[in-house]
């Protein structure tokens, strides 16, 4: 590692990357989404708010928030010693997000489809509540608490906080909660198809060389996918890779050969998707049709 490089935590590195991206002016960041490692970092959330950057961050179920404006509470700022007692729900104005979700009436939860998945529609129940953050053991700014619940018999619940404006529709924040899927898909494609994890480098420079080449390969395939997707909306990254491999392996790939290759994969994907969707709909008969639009 370069001798002048100082240690930074992941949230610190992420904040600096966002600052550089915004300063470059090439990409506009509408929302920043991340998992609970970043959502639990008060310094990272402070940095995003100082940049006036909207975020939706996953947080742990025991994250504490104020359910009323702390400015209206006399002596409502718990110190570190007092905070340890908050898990017993002694102080009603401060609650873990899991306790807030458990106490919500059924009518607070609304259903929404995030997108069509490979194995059927991705539908969840959402509840959104205006709360106040507890940050650095002190009252923080007003934020949104977004709760997402699965439709399983024993539902799984995810919790998010957001600094979006107080007029932001709940549907927008609910849809943003599914945005991390695209980040995960990017890493999965890189590992499965482009060799992101296939390296044995030990040096700082060689590791960065490898990752830079993977990023360039991903960009090239993504641009190929984008150009072809205008004519074939269902085209996936792995289909674009199949086309590229076929093109590189032959002296010439005719238009008809390329079309046949794409249509073959599209037929297989449609059959599998339709089968999964029918199974999903049979299992979730209580879902209202308008939710699936």
The answer to whether the pTM exceeds 0.85 is: no
- Identify the pLDDT of residue 121: 83
Pair 127, 104: CB distance under 8 Å: yes
Q: Identify the pLDDT of residue 17.
A: 95
Give residue 89's pLDDT: 40
Q: How far apart are CA 152 and CA 175, in angstroms?
A: 20
Give the 3-state DSSP-derived string for 105-129, with helices as H, strands as E and coil as C: CHHHCEEEEEEEECCEEEEEEEEEE
DSSP assignment of 50-109 equals HTT--EEEEE-TT-EEESS-GGGSTT----HHHHGGGGGT-STTEEEHHHHHHHS-GGG-
Domain boundaries, the chain: 10-177, 185-283
- Residue 126 C-beta-side C-alpha neighbours within 13 Å: 23
Distance from chain centroid for Cα 234: 22
Splitting the chain (293 residues) into consecutive groups of 10 residues, what average pLDDT does each group show? 89 96 93 96 97 97 93 63 46 87 95 80 92 93 96 93 95 92 86 88 90 92 77 70 72 76 76 79 71 57
pLDDT of residue 172: 95
């Amino acid at each position: 590692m370069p001798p002048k490089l100082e240690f930074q935590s992941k949230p610190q590195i992420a904040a600096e990357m966002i600052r550089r991206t915004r300063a470059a002016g090439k990409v506009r960041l509408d929302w920043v989404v991340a998992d609970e490692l970043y959502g639990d970092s008060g310094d990272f959330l402070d940095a995003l708010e100082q940049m006036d950057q909207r975020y939706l961050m996953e947080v742990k179920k025991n994250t504490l928030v104020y359910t009323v404006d702390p400015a209206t509470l006399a002596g409502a700022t718990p110190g570190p010693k007092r905070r340890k007692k908050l898990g017993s729900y002694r102080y009603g104005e401060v609650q873990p997000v899991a306790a807030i979700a458990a106490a919500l009436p059924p009518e607070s939860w609304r259903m929404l489809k995030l997108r069509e998945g490979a194995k059927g529609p991705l539908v969840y129940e959402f509840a959104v509540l205006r709360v106040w953050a507890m940050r650095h053991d002190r009252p923080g700014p007003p934020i949104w608490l977004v709760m997402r619940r699965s439709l399983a018999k024993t539902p799984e619940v995810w919790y998010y906080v957001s600094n979006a404006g107080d007029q932001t529709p709940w549907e927008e924040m609910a849809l943003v909660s599914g945005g991390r899927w695209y980040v995960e898909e990017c890493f999965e494609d890189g590992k499965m198809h482009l060799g992101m994890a296939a390296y044995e480098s030990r040096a700082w420079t060689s590791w960065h060389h490898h990752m830079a080449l993977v990023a360039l390969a991903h960009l090239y395939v993504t641009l190929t996918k984008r150009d072809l997707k205008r004519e074939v909306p269902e085209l996936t990254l792995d289909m674009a890779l199949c086309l590229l491999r076929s093109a590189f392996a032959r002296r010439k790939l005719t238009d008809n050969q390329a079309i046949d290759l794409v249509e073959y994969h599209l037929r297989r994907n449609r059959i599998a998707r339709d089968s999964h969707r029918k199974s999903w709909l049979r299992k979730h008969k209580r879902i209202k049709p308008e939710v699936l639009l």
